[in-house]
Amino acid sequence: MSAIGIGQAAILGVVEGVTEFLPVSSTGHLKIVEGLMGVPVDDASVVAFTAVIQVGAIAAVLLYFFEDIVRIVGAWGRGLRHRDQRHDHDYKFAWWVIYATVPVVVVGLAAKPLIDGPLASLWVVAGSLIAGSALMWAADRMGRHRRGESDATFKDAMLVGSSQILALLFPGFSRSGATMSTGLILDLDRVAATRLSFFLGIPALTGAGLYELKDAVGTGTAVAPLVVGTAVSFVVAYASIAWLLKFVARHSFNAFVVYRVVVGLLLFALLGAGALDA
């Protein structure tokens, strides 16, 4: 029998859609909500379900940035066929995304027993929420915000892409928070850092979802909850992406920093009081 029902899947789909691209940690929030609903966060089918419904959020980002993706893939294809097309920034950027995905894939496969085991604790989530907030706060003040998306380099892509490892190892740190913060430290403006975070997250998150799909089926996760959770996360994530890009164009990350600290402290309190099982 599946550890997650259809109603719970819908709720988790909303949580995934809202938090996947906001710098607040989707994994952390999913684990918190699962804990509140009494869902065993260390159950293999639950871990697999959480990864699979990310595909809905990734489908949303693919649709939202469809024209950009077609342009970049087109430039990559032309560059592969014609040497004189390889000076195009989009051709180079396509390769950068591929290269920048390698570190997180290697670490993800090597550290999977830790990621699915000891590091899945809500104590880790609470600590990572607060630690990630400190990084975001510092990055927002260190960054000069003087470089746009067209100014991004191979070094930027590798550093931003590699920063996803922080969120991979420490649920609660936030993939978006780590990548956006790294972009800001590299003096990218907030919109450029956010868009780069989106593009670099597509291969890693898609691969993780597809990799876990076999485990979701093999561990007894019912198809209906997977479909519901994925569909809900798609719809909600699309709206979340549109809102975030408008928000970062006019505001700092202060609101996210405060929110993360409050949630982290509240989670510590609930765990300490025994109201939640870590």
Q: Domain ranges for the chain, please list them.
A: 6-273
**Between 111 and 47, whose confidence is greater?**
111
Per-residue pLDDT, 1: 47
Per-residue pLDDT, 46: 79
Contacts of 202 (CB under 8 A, 6+ apart): 58, 61, 62, 97
Q: What is the H or E stretch that residue 242 is in?
A: helix 223-248
Condensed to tens digits (0 to 9), the pLDDT of residues 76-107 reads 999 999 999 999 999 999 999 999 999 999 99
Q: How far is CA 97 from the centre of its chain?
A: 15
Across 103-127, average pLDDT: 89
27 neighbors 54 (Cβ within 8 angstroms) = no
Per-residue pLDDT, 124: 92
The predicted model scores a pTM of 0.86
Per-residue pLDDT, 2: 60
> Which residue pairs, CB below 8 angstroms and at least 24 apart, start in 74-78?
none
Across 246-262, average pLDDT: 93
Residue 121's φ and ψ, nearest 5 degrees, are -65, 145
